[in-house]
Structure 1
Amino acid sequence: MSNVRTTAYTRIEKGGHRNALGKYLSGRHVMSAASDWSRFPLGTRFRIVDTKEEFIIDDYGTALIGTSTIDLYKPTNLEMKRWGVRNIDIDILQWGSEEQSLKVLGPRAKHQTPRRMIAALQKKNVVRASKVASASKQAAARTSSSRTLD
């Protein structure tokens, strides 16, 4: 994926030391990252092309909703400030799960940020289901018309 906008955050910011799953933010081999889960679902693993650093989406943030920005966890305030805002190329190693995203967000639906992601995820699923149904109808129509010709 090319030209992905990234920002950085650290544990001293609002939200503290834990990610959206209640686990400690990771600054180790595979680091934590936050996104709008309707764009990059929970569990999405990616590598930054230039630095080879690996991240996993395990958090979200209010400012990320409705954007394709990824917020990278940095263990120190200095590293966060050094990162700033960058447009980078990433390799998606594994897409996360929209289903898992919805499972985590569901109990939080009374809050605006999760509610907006839930709505976007549900809309994607409706569009996807509609496309599958349309493709199935077209395939069925082709099959029945080829039988008529035989």
Structure 2
Amino acid sequence: MDWDTPEAEEQWCAERRAEVAGYLAREELPHGRIGDWPAWFLVPYVSLWAVESSEHAGEVGWWAICGDLPCDYLSAEAAAHPRAAVRAIAERWQLAAGHMENGLPLPGFSVGSPEEWPTLAPLLASRAELLLQIVADDEAWQDP
């Protein structure tokens, strides 16, 4: 697929938004509206979505990430800007991968079963490293 067309970008973003909605529903996370468009994205790899607070209408309460990586979310209290949110998620994934490699759960975080951790830990660590490289790249954060 040619990801450089506006139609492909719109379709990919719509699919990711639906993925975030399904993920947050499965997680039973109380929230308001999910942004109509990602707060930040790199088609077809990663998207970060502003998710409205359930307690404060019109305010971002959560950041949700999805794409060619695990879905995850983070409180907006931990990161006010999309770049900071991606950094915080990546750092949490690095920490979780280290715990998983040692057969230990990270409190408040889960991915897969303990039997899958030897396979999942290096995948999670590699996604975290890629996200941190993107966070460090100023060009990835400029408006088109």
With the length of structure 1 as denominator, give the TM-score of the two structures. 0.26
Structure number having the greater strand percentage: 1
Name which one, 1 or 2, has greater alpha-carbon Rg. Answer: 1
With the length of structure 2 as denominator, give the TM-score of the two structures. 0.26
Higher relative contact order (CA 8 A, sep 6+): 1
